[in-house]
Amino acid sequence: MQHTRRKPTSLAAAAALAVVGVSVLGACSSDDGGSGSGDGSTDAAGGTYTWWDPYPQHDGSSDWEARVQACGEEAGVTIERTAYDTTALTNQALLSAQEGTSPDVILIDNPAVSTLADTGILTTVEEFGLDTSAIDQNLLDAGVVDGEAYGIPIGANTLSLYYNADILSDAGVDPASITDWDSLTAALAQVTDAGHKGITFAGIGTEEGSFQFLPWFWGAGADLTDLDSPEAVEALELWKGWLDQGYAPNTVINNSQNTVWEEFLTGDFAFAENGTWQVNSAAEAEFETGIVQLPAQDGGVAPAPTGGEFIVAPVQEDTARYEVTRQIVECMTTPEGFVETANTFAYYIPPTAEGQEQLLAESGEDADLEPWVEAVQNAKGRTSDGLGTDYPVISEALWTAVQNALSGAATPAEALETAQADAEAATS
């Protein structure tokens, strides 16, 4: 099996850009072959394989650590796991490739796959001989660059609309009636007329702001290559209209997703846009909760952006290591492996139909998880549509437009016209 790397656009330049304004930890390599080229070892049997992921909250005593080590044991090796926060991980991956100390396996946030692949530091799924035919295409697409898949999602999370059942009952709103923008806005009018607060969401000027706006943007039929389309303007007018009508608080301009959730847990809001990762917290809330799918403008489920990590394998000088790496990756991406990861984290939905069915059958929480399976099935990768490394600059232009419109600095149409011009200038 021959392994090649994509022609790098400029690894040194990418690494230099990645560390601007970010404090990065030093490169990591093991003493017994943990890094692919760290000691020149060609012994693929036994030894130590290095693994990086973005989960510093899960330490060496965690269930996740045990999950990772079990895959190493299955392959007959020890895994040396290092955790970074999400941004630092991408930076460190670029730097380690430049220094020749890449780990064997990385779990990376899905929009960053195209960034790493574009520099030529990742092997392709095809080169590893891995079968992705069972992976839901809408989830796999986030790791596809120029027609080549550079990783496999270990699971997915996405957004839906949580509701406070007590408030909806008091206001006479049936959650099943919320099927499009008009019915949602009508529900907001009812709950505010009944003396409650309407909806909270994250409009912050960061990637989280784009992440939360995209279901409305895509749900209107807008495209990220045309930020000032009439459809895009309608989506931003929807959010701005909710603020102007008092259905959403001014705090949404600075809300992160965590802040949104804190507001929802006060019990004052009828609705909150948030993710799969809040399932357990919602179950423990002091009031009854439920979810409805984020509605598209004219009905149906709006595509929400996919969250979650891809498992990728950096290029190694010692290609004899690839066989064990493949076994580790396969351990994480069997139907059973997907379910085990979902159960370990409690907020990932498996990326295959078989895994989703098995999760629902085994969890005993079908009522809680089934709507999230539907949401993931309708979700969309942020770098899909061939955006690749253009996505980050397009996203920044978009979240800036959201900020300008919500603050009143510009009308939605004006804000998005500026965003489109900025995106075109940055990507041309």
Cβ count within 10 A of residue 79: 22
- Which pLDDT score is estimated for 1? 35
Can you give 351-386 as a three-state secondary structure string? CEHHHHHHHHHHHCCHHHHHHHHHHHHCCECCCCCC
Angle CA(401)–CA(112)–CA(161) in degrees, nearest 5?
A: 55
From residue 284, alpha-carbon distances to 278, 280, 281, 288 in Å are 10, 6, 5, 9
CB 275 within 8 A of CB 307: yes
* Residue 137 three-state SS: helix
- Which pLDDT score is estimated for 24? 24
Domains and CATH numbers, the chain: 11-156+307-377 (3.40.190.10), 159-304+387-427 (3.40.190.10)
Residue numbers in the chain where pLDDT is lower than 70:
1-46, 364-367
- Which pLDDT score is estimated for 79? 98
- Which pLDDT score is estimated for 347? 79
- Which pLDDT score is estimated for 7? 40
